[in-house]
């Protein structure tokens, strides 16, 4: 773990985003990978206590994706960070980006039942604003 990572993870917003991401991956894995052995995430962020006393539970593959995402969040150069889906800096590699998109499509709507209603609503509002600015009505996954 680098000093930079440790330093960034001390920021409340970074911790919040990382915790939310962890919960999303946990929801996704819990709904799709029940055949895999699933354990509480072991990662640098978990070591720093970002996930609290009950880190999200997931399979080895999802844990690998989350560890990647933790680093991307920690090293995000934007402040305030936009939602990744609307960011013009593509810091994710294409495979990770595709994985995260399908993970979010699954977990986003379901996260409402896991105490992330506020984040979900903010996300929807920002998506709407972004589409207006970009002048392209109706992104594909939006159902009105
Ligand atoms: Zn999984």
How do residues 18-64 score in pLDDT, each as one tens digit?
999 999 999 999 999 998 899 999 999 999 999 998 899 999 999 99
Residue owning tokens 């640098």: 44
Q: How far is the CA of 62 from the centre of ligand 1 (A)?
A: 4
Could you tell me the distance, in angstroms and rounded to a whole number, from the CA of residue 110 to the centre of ligand 1?
16
* Cα 126 to ligand 1 centroid, rounded to whole Å: 28
Distance from the CA of 98 to the center of ligand 1, in angstroms? 15
DSSP the chain: --HHHHHHTTSHHHHHHHHHHHHHHHHHHHHH-TTS--EE--SHHHHTTTTTTSPPEE-HHHHHHHHHHHHHHHT---SSPPPGGG-SS--S-HHHHHHHHHHHHHHHHHGGGGT-HHHHHHHHHHHHHHHHHHT----TT---
Instruction: Provide the percentage of residues in the chain whose pLDDT is more than 70.
Output: 85
Q: Tell me the domain boundaries of the chain.
A: 3-134
Q: How far is the CA of 37 from the centre of ligand 1 (A)?
A: 9
Above 80 in pLDDT, residue 83?
no
Cα(135) to centroid of ligand 1, in Å? 36
Mean pLDDT of 89-97: 89
Q: Which residues surround ligand 1, an ion (CB under 5 A)?
A: 29, 33, 58-59, 62
């Amino acid at each position: 773990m680098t000093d930079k990572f440790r330093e960034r993870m001390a920021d409340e917003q970074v911790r919040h985003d990382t915790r939310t991401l962890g919960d999303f991956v946990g929801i996704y894995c819990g709904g799709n990978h029940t055949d895999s052995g699933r354990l509480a995430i072991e990662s640098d962020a978990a070591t720093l206590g970002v996930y609290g006393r009950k880190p999200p539970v997931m399979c080895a593959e999802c844990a690998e994706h989350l560890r990647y995402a933790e680093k991307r969040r920690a090293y995000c150069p934007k402040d305030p960070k936009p939602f990744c889906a609307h960011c013009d800096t593509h810091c994710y590699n294409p495979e990770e980006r595709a994985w995260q998109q399908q993970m979010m499509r699954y977990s986003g709507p379901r996260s409402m039942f896991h105490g992330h209603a506020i984040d979900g609503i903010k996300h929807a509002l920002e998506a709407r604003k972004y589409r207006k600015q970009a002048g392209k009505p109706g992104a594909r996954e939006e159902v009105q």
